[in-house]
Structure 1
Amino acid sequence: MIPDLSNASPDETPDGDRYIVPGLIRGLAILEGFSQNNPEQSLAAIARDTGLPRATVFRILHTLEVAGYLERNPARKTFRLGNRVLRLGYNALSGRSLRDIATPILERLRDETGCTTHLVVREGTDVVYIARCLGATRVDSLIGVGTRLPAHATVIGRTLLSHMPLPDVVRLYDGYDFPTYTDATPADLGELVAQLEADRPQRSLASWGYFEPDVASIAAPVRNRAGIAEAAVNAICSLDAYDRAALEDVVRVRVENAAEEISVALGYQG
């Protein structure tokens, strides 16, 4: 419950601090009440949860809406966080590196799934692994930070290639000698383009022994403020660690959520 400090004297504010702005405290507390599990709230619900008068809550919500920190859904008579809140997060994090932003999210994804998690960026026709969080499940993989792998032969690489304009992909692979690693590896530009066209509509890609025969993987793109797929994350495990359906249903959602969280931290508002 938030105390209604509308008419409070300095002695009645926290610690008797005369410089505290009560309305700001109440507004910030209301913003903190929105979460992934509670993304939309009505005025009545906020008044109930905070213990503030409805008239006070109405004025705060209206102020936050006008300032862009909340958005109103007229049909449902609810509020949700606005884009300005996301920009605040971006401005605070913009001085940090992509790896710094992603690592705690990769660690949480690792803890949630037991899988080893990675962050990669593309350099030419390769992907470069720039972060790794080692999981609890046994996985016979030689991938570590600094590893370079051919993008066309890995699901995490295809994740990035599929979000490039097709003419750029064609130029990138013009004259390229396609090494193959499994029967699923595209052997030429035509096969790669066909695969990427199938990949493009999907939010994430799943691999069941696509690059390393004993390793399963789920990968999803990370977008920057301009909406460009700047990086990708994945979760990998041995084939016997998960039932295939569970990997593609349960782990997939968590990987997509992690990629989205990193993207939002980078300023993506799609």
Structure 2
Amino acid sequence: MNPSTEPDAPGTGMLQRAFAVMRALGEIQPEGGRVTRIAKAVGLTQATVHRILHALIAEGIVEQDQNTKLYRLSVDFFALAAQAGNPSGMRALCRPALLRLCASLGDTIFLLVKSSFDAVCLDMCEGPLPIRSFTGDIGGRVALGIGQGSLAILAFLPEAEREEIIRFNVPRLRSYGVLDEVYLRTEIERVRQLGYAGRNSGVLEGMAGVAVPIIDRTGCAVAALSVGTLSARLGEDRLPMVVELLKRQADLIGPQVNPFDVAMRRPMHGLTRAMTTEPIA
């Protein structure tokens, strides 16, 4: 629902609009944006957006470049987000593994976690090669089923939950032009048989990836370790070694994940956002 037309509950209207503005700014980081662009993105009047921006500036959440007059999220905002961004301890738990894998392989390593119908990049360790990924930087979000990391998670979810996600996500995946339900189910079965996701879909030209699920003590996939690299670096001769290293680290992490951590177990969390999120190109 458009923020400008959504009925306000007492005390919530301006807060909802402020978060809409912050999300819009997040989408256009780091260059920032003008009031006109932000207003168009959130469906509010320029006057309203201008008031919200200056209220956020007063709180240190937004800053305005004095030369370009563009608005962007402030350093203080990212410092605050970093403090709150690891409620489950998952990042701290997995960080040593990411560093080890990056050093051993010389490629970029991603940690993806499940968030409702999406996978979110919780952490990454960049290798020396320039790559592109579906989630982009830390905090990036992609529909489960797109990209090797999210596919590895989806394939090893409980069947009932997996079926519900497939039903919900198929319309979102079709915008890529190469995926349909038959393709997705075939890929899921393949990943379940192999224990990893590692076929280059060709959606990101020249890029390849391989990922393994992180399985907690209940047998549920809560995250994935993923390698992003150039297609030439993930041939049949190197793939088994990469998979083995990923699995070794995932097997060490899995038993340490708290199976009762609410941050990792909210199947309906983010439903509204998932319904309005455009797939990441």
Please, what TM-score do these two structures have when normalized by structure 2? 0.55
| Amino acid paired to 1:179 | L
Match of 2:219 among 218, 224, 227: 227
Shift in Å at residue 172 of structure 1?
Answer: 2.5
What residue number does 1:154 align with?
Answer: 147
For 1:267 and 1:251, the matched residues in 2 are separated by: 26
State the match for 2:47 in structure 1. none
Q: Structure 1 178/247 Cα, relative in aligned 2: closer, same or farther at 3 Å? A: farther
Unaligned runs of 5+ in 2: 1-86, 260-281
For 1:163, the equivalent position in structure 2 comes to 156
Pairwise mapping of residues 1-270 of structure 1 onto structure 2 (< 5 A)? 97-141=89-133, 143-174=136-167, 176=169, 177-180=171-174, 185-188=178-181, 190-240=182-232, 242=233, 244-266=235-257
> 1:234 Cα deviation (Å)?
0.6
> Which protein shows a greater Rg?
1
Q: What whole-Å deviation, never above 9, does each CA across 1:62-94 have from its counterpart, x for those lacking one?
A: xxxxxxxxxxxxxxxxxxxxxxxxxxxxxxxxx
> What's the secondary structure of 1:226's corresponding residue?
coil
Contact 1:118 1:131 in 2 (8 A): yes
Aligned to 2:45: none
The question of whether the paired residues in 2 share the 8 Å contact of 1:178 and 1:186 is answered with no
- Looking at structure 2, the residues matched to 96 and 124 of structure 1 have their Cα atoms a distance apart, in angstroms, of 16
How many angstroms does 1:104 deviate by?
0.9
Cα distance in 2 between the residues matched to 1:167 and 1:261: 27
Identity fraction in percent:
19
Q: CA deviation at 1:243?
A: 5.0
CA distance in 2, matches of 1:127, 1:210: 20
Q: CA RMSD in A?
A: 2.5
Render the CA deviation track for 1:221-249: whole Å, top value 9, x for unaligned. 11222221111111111123x15123312
Amino acid at match of 2:235: R
Shift of 1:159: 0.6
- TM-score computed with the length of structure 1 as normaliser: 0.57
| Structure 1: tracts of 5 or more residues without a match | 1-94
Q: Distance in 2 between matches of 1:171 and 1:180?
A: 17
Q: Residues 125 and 175 of structure 1: is their aligned pair in 2 closer, same or farther, counting only changes over 3 Å?
A: closer
Deviation at 1:96, TM superposition (A): 6.8
